[in-house]
Amino acid sequence: MLQLPIGRQRWHGATWAFLAVGLLLFGGACAGNKSGDVAQVAAGKQLSRANCAACHGQQGEGAPNWRAPGPDGRLLPPPHDSTGHTWHHGDGLLFRYVKDGGASLQIPAFVSGMPAFGQTLSDNEIKAVLLYLKTLWGPREGAFQTQVSKQELSP
Ligand code: HEC
């Protein structure tokens, strides 16, 4: 009698493993359809761990309770994955935000906690980081962001 549930569980385990591998392959194919992209995403991941993770989290999960402002009233680092809103912005804005920092937007009364990386990272490195961040989004967020990028007036 014990055999059946265990057997079933094993079967489920195998199915999940199979699905997970399938999703990984599919995700990989979406993230980088050219082999150059795959290398760029890998480089971007490393750069992100080294430069962004201290604030935005190891997996881009953002600061805990990021939806509420911090004790000083400033915004906390939001997640870069689908639960955040990085994907609401087009490529041009994202690039500028990382290169020139949040203060560069010159929004009145907004004190940004997002530093400028223009002195630390090359343009290509910033692009690699952004390419990696795109792999943290689901298909819906990815499609939305592609659309927003197309509609941006300036690149
Ligand atoms: C010192 C902490 C800190 C570091 C390091 C940092 N960020 Fe941020 N980042 C923030 C904060 C805080 C915000 C919230 C908006 C603001 O204050 O401008 C933010 C916002 C952003 C946004 C806008 C997201 C949105 O949803 O509007 C992007 C994109 C971003 N960061 C990318 C990066 C990348 C890429 C790196 C690494 C190269 C990085 N950040 C490193 C603190 C940081």
pLDDT single digits (tens) 28-46:
445 445 678 999 999 999 9
In CATH terms, the superfamily for domain 35-150 is Cytochrome c-like domain (1.10.760.10)
Chain centroid to Cα 60, Å, comes to 6
Atom of ligand 1 nearest to the CA of 133: 35
How far apart CA 60 and CA 89 sit, in angstroms, is 16
Q: What is the pLDDT of residue 16?
A: 47
Q: What is the pLDDT of residue 54?
A: 98
Q: Are 77 and 98 in contact (CB under 8 A)?
A: no
Q: Report whether residue 54 contacts ligand 1, using a CB cutoff of 6 Å.
A: yes
**Percent of the chain scoring above 90 in pLDDT:** 70
Instruction: Output the CA 122–ligand 1 centroid distance in Å.
Output: 17
Q: What is the pLDDT of residue 109?
A: 87
Phi first, then psi: what are they for 15, rounded to 5°?
A: -65, -45
Q: Report whether residue 52 contacts ligand 1, using a CB cutoff of 6 Å.
A: yes
What are the extents of the domains in the chain?
Answer: 1-32, 35-150
Q: What is the pLDDT of residue 91?
A: 97
Q: Check whether 17 has a pLDDT greater than 80.
A: no
Tokens of 6: 């265990």
* Closest residue CA from atom 34 of ligand 1: 52
Q: What is the pLDDT of residue 28?
A: 47
Q: Report whether residue 78 contacts ligand 1, using a CB cutoff of 6 Å.
A: yes
Indicate the pTM of the whole model: 0.81
What does the pLDDT look like over 105-155, one tens digit per residue? 998 988 999 999 999 999 999 999 999 999 999 999 999 999 999 999 755
* Closest residue CA from atom 31 of ligand 1: 114
Q: Report whether residue 114 contacts ligand 1, using a CB cutoff of 6 Å.
A: yes
